[in-house]
Chain A
């Protein structure tokens, strides 16, 4: 294939990478561990360790070589595995922490920076194994470095498992009391997706093949830069500009995905079209909303601006990739976005506005620090609100709340690295304890009789 060199295009690409933080956020290998099951947990652990080391041995080296040859930063190399509640279902032990320790050890052995899948799917009810896994979460997440967990508590077809919602409020508190960092690795889902490459919510779903490569792209800085050139232009121009930029970003992700798939001889799964911010200045989703004309993220107009952004990213990206999946949309993790942090600190962005924003973007209340004395019931009530948004709108909502033990509104909690730091946000004082204590299931919503 002959390439006609065009200097301005080449300079544009180099500028995107050097100045505007363009990167591939993650190459995530999904791996089934269902064949590692055994009644003896030690044997199960051994099989898991061996399988991960065998299948993911070359992942990091191969992806790093692609990174160097193409000159694109590929920030994270990760693994997602089958929900451990399924893999361990036949084990006799009550505590699944040894499995988490095994995942941690295997992740370190192959050099990935996170492994997701210490997970349970409990949207309609608990199996015995789901309960054992969920009760193991506080210990498992605080005694490991790289293991991420998730629990799906609701789906559009099954409704909301309010027993799971109530339990997860308590689990979040127990985890935070051990170490708030554990909560940064725990996601509570409604409508969890099976092929999400992003942490902490990645797991290898049961409809997935044996092994697969999924790629998550990023690039808020590139979108922000492109929008700076459309000042005072109508929204048609804004949407077109985002689409064009998303197309370019996604094509790069698709290229990396195909190359990784070919070199590792593992099928390509999906590209997740996501605008994932980092704490670096100029790599912020909040900044994009502000460039559209908002004085600060969180003020009136924020939800509309985010809705446009989220939709245009998908429209631009969808043509650039042969298979799109995962969460696909804009992420709004507060601690990982300098603009969001500033907006919370100035009082412009409240928990209520964040909740409204989650109705129109790809995730839920993400990486939000709440006061250390927040009760388990209040945490559960927040989870229930987010699950309701996901269930009724037929979308994924993923909640990562961090009770900042010993801290109160206005103080900050630091996580380090890509996870950033979060100001503690104010919650409503009214109790939802009686509501949460009811238990049972909130029935699935009606999606017919639309006349």
Chain B
């Protein structure tokens, strides 16, 4: 299953490294990645493949939320279908 991971936070050093290592530890492959700064806010969006991830979707979402909160990062994961449905005919 493919999903979109989005990360929002105040910009600081090492956010990308921290988040990508969280994903790697859970056997999640990053298919595409993009990041941008909106004023002083950092926004990163990743398309990820969950095929090898041993966790259930709910467990994964909870762990990412908790691990993100430790570094004051707002991390969400959503199935990609929603974006495809809304923006593609």
Q: In A1-53, which residues have CB < 8 Å from any B CB?
A: 1, 3, 5-7, 9-14
Indicate whether B84 reaches chain A with its CB closer than 8 angstroms.
yes
The answer to whether B58 touches A68, judged by C-beta atoms less than 8 angstroms apart, is yes
What B residues does A71 contact at CB under 8 A? 76-79, 82
**Cβ of B4 < 8 Å from any Cβ of A?**
yes
B67 at the interface (CB under 8 A from A): no
Q: Is B43 an interface residue (CB 8 A)?
A: yes
A14-B76, A65-B58, A68-B61 given as contacts; is B82 within 8 A of A252 (CB)?
Answer: yes
| Bound CA–CA A140/B4 (angstroms) | 47
Instruction: Say whether A70 contacts B87, CB under 8 Å.
Output: no
* Partner pick for B86 among A7, A65, A248, CB 8 A cutoff: A248
Q: How large is the interface on A (under 10, 10 to 19, 20 to 34, 35 or more residues)?
A: 20 to 34
With A14-B76, A68-B61, A70-B78 as contacts: A7 and B34 at CB distance below 8 Å: yes
Smallest CB gap from B4: residue in A: A10
For A6, give the chain B residue with the smallest CB separation.
Answer: B87
Contact, CB under 8 Å: B58 / A254: no
Once the chains are docked, how many angstroms separate the CA of A254 from the CA of B82? 10
Which residues of A236-277 are within 8 A (CB) of B? 248, 251-252, 254-255
A450 to B78, CA, bound (A): 53
- How many residue pairs link A and B with beta carbons under 8 A? The number is 63
Contact B32 A5 (CB under 8 A): yes
Residues of A within 8 A of B61 (CB): 68
How far is B2's CA from A439's CA once the two chains are assembled, in angstroms?
Answer: 63
Is B36 part of the binding interface, using a Cβ–Cβ cutoff of 8 Å? yes
Main secondary structure of the interface of A (DSSP, over half): helix
- The answer to the question of B45 belonging to the interface, with a C-beta cut-off of 8 Å to chain A, is yes
**Chain A proximity of B72: nearest CB distance (Å):** 17
Name the one of B2, B57, B79, B87 contacting A9, with C-beta atoms under 8 angstroms: B87
Contact A252 B58 (CB under 8 A): no
Q: Does A72 contact B (CB under 8 A)?
A: yes
**Is residue B83 within 8 Å, beta carbon to beta carbon, of the partner chain?**
yes
Contacting residue for A251 out of B2, B79, B80, B86, CB 8 A? B86
A72 CA / B87 CA spacing, docked (Å) = 15
Residue A434 interfacial (CB < 8 Å): no
- Residues of A contacting B43 in the complex (Cβ-Cβ under 8 angstroms): 7, 11
* A3 and B79 alpha carbons, distance in the complex (Å): 11
Q: Which residue of the partner chain B has the closest CB to A258? A: B85
Interface of chain B residues 6 through 59 with chain A (CB within 8 A): 6, 31-32, 34, 36, 43, 45, 47, 57-58
B4 to chain A, nearest CB (A): 6
| Contact of B45 with A13 in the complex, beta carbons under 8 Å | no
B81 contacts partner chain A, Cβ-Cβ < 8 Å: yes
Within the complex, the shortest CB–CB distance from A192 to chain B, in Å, comes to 31
What are 19 A-B pairs at a CB distance below 8 A?
A1-B84, A3-B83, A3-B84, A5-B31, A5-B34, A6-B87, A7-B34, A7-B43, A11-B6, A13-B82, A13-B83, A14-B6, A69-B57, A69-B79, A71-B82, A248-B87, A252-B85, A255-B82, A255-B85
Given A13-B87, A70-B78, A251-B86; 6 other pairs, CB 8 A cutoff = A5-B31, A7-B34, A9-B83, A14-B6, A70-B81, A71-B77
Contact residues of B with A, CB < 8 Å? 2, 4, 6, 31-32, 34, 36, 43, 45, 47, 57-58, 61, 76-87
**Chain A residues close to B by CB (< 8 Å):** 1, 3, 5-7, 9-14, 65, 68-72, 248, 251-252, 254-255
